[in-house]
Amino acid sequence: MPDKSILIVEDEAAIREMVRFALQRAEFRTAEAGDVRDARLRIAEARPDLILLDWMLPGVSGVEFARELKGSAVTRDIPIIMVTARAEEEDKVRGLNLGCDDYMTKPFSLPELLARVKAVLRRSQAGGEDEKLAVAGLEMDAAGQRVSASGKAVHLGPTEYKLLHFFMSHPERVYTREQVLDRVWGQGVYVEERTVDVHIRRLRKALEPFGLDGLIQTVRGTGYRFSERP
Ligand code: CA
């Protein structure tokens, strides 16, 4: 995904530099801002394809800025990855319903950063261009809403399809039932957490004939993870 531009909004110069270096090595273009005032100027100069937004900034916080961006018709469609210092903040961002596209907790690894950035960019493009996801012999063509395994069609109900799409675009990460509900069913929708289990079962059943049901893993006491690793 070369040539996409990422705006890094981060007040700690060392982190900004490390992130910029990693993104440029992956052939992204970058712009930087140390606070929200700066960020507004950068966005006015050139609209970024994605914003990495630190939660704690001097003056206006990242949270307030996210709200501002998502509240304006001009900037609403720019994907945002919110970067937080603690897992509790990540939970809060999620709870605040800011419309951010993803969340990352410091300290994060550079491969994780790149994987998140690419996944969010892929999803944000999914509307117009054909989005294709491929993991462990499973292929998803989001434009045509088709899923296949080793070339054979996998038949899924609409909810199982959305669930699988969510997992394939967020691999190797554990999600609680509540988080899965928020991301797949949507926030503010009243559905019991048990419902997630029901649809996970159906999804596994659909993948079973292809020997791929093990991709959807139960993490005891926590939730679910999509992973190629056993
Ligand atoms: Ca900060």
What is the chain's pLDDT, residue by residue, as a tens digit (230 residues)?
557 999 999 999 999 999 999 999 999 999 999 999 999 999 998 889 999 999 999 999 999 999 999 888 788 889 999 998 887 777 777 667 777 888 888 889 999 999 999 988 887 775 544 567 888 889 998 777 789 998 899 999 888 998 999 898 888 889 999 888 878 887 666 778 889 999 999 999 999 999 999 999 999 989 999 998 88
Rounded to the nearest angstrom, the distance between the alpha carbon of 119 and the centre of ligand 1 is: 24
- Residue span of the structural domain in which 31 resides: 5-124
Answer yes or no: do 164 and 117 share one domain. Answer: no
Q: Which of 124, 150, 167 is the last residue of a domain?
A: 124
Please say which residue of 124, 159, 177 terminates a domain. 124
Asked if residue 11 and residue 89 are part of one domain, the reply reads yes
Measure 129 CA to ligand 1 centroid, in angstroms: 35
CA nearest to 140, candidates 172, 163, 115, 168: 168
Q: Is the domain of 9 the same as that of 61?
A: yes
Give φ, ψ of 143 to 5 degrees.
-65, -45
Torsion of CA 75, 120, 182, 154, to 10 degrees: 130
Q: What spacing in Å lies between the alpha carbon of 54 and ligand 1's midpoint?
A: 6
- In sequence order, the β-bridge partners of residue 149 are 138, 152
Q: CATH number of the domain that 100 lies in?
A: 3.40.50.2300
Task: Tell whether pTM > 0.75.
Answer: no
User: How far is the centre of ligand 1, averaged over its atoms, from the C-alpha of 3 (Å)?
Assistant: 27
Cβ distance 53 to 11 under 8 Å?
no
Taking the centre of ligand 1 as the mean of its atom positions, its distance from the CA of residue 55, in whole angstroms, is 6
Ligand 1 center from residue 32 Cα (angstroms): 13
Cα 57 to ligand 1 centroid, rounded to whole Å: 5
From edge to edge, which strands make up the β-sheet containing 132-135?
Answer: 132-135, 138-141, 146-149, 152-153
How far is ligand 1, taken at its centre, from the CA of residue 90, in Å? 14
Instruction: Write out the two tokens for 10.
Output: 């981060």
Rg of the Cα trace of the chain? 18
- Which DSSP helix (H) or strand (E) runs through 81? strand 80-84
* SS3 state of residue 160: helix
Tell me, yes or no, whether 120 and 194 share the same domain: no
Compute the distance from residue 100 Cα to the ligand 1 centre, in Å: 17
Amino acid, single-letter form, for residue 217: Q
CA dihedral (2, 183, 111, 105) in degrees, to 10, reads 120
Element containing residue 90 per DSSP (H, E): helix 87-96
| Distance between Cα 160 and ligand 1 center (Å) | 38
**Domain co-membership, 89 together with 158:** no
Pair of tokens at residue 126: 């999914």
**Whose structure tokens read 């996409």?**
4
Ligand 1 center from residue 164 Cα (angstroms): 34
CATH of the domain at 159: 1.10.10.10
Q: Which of 124, 154, 169 is the last residue of a domain?
A: 124
> In this structure, what is the dihedral angle of CA atoms 192, 188, 129, 154, given to the nearest 10 degrees?
10
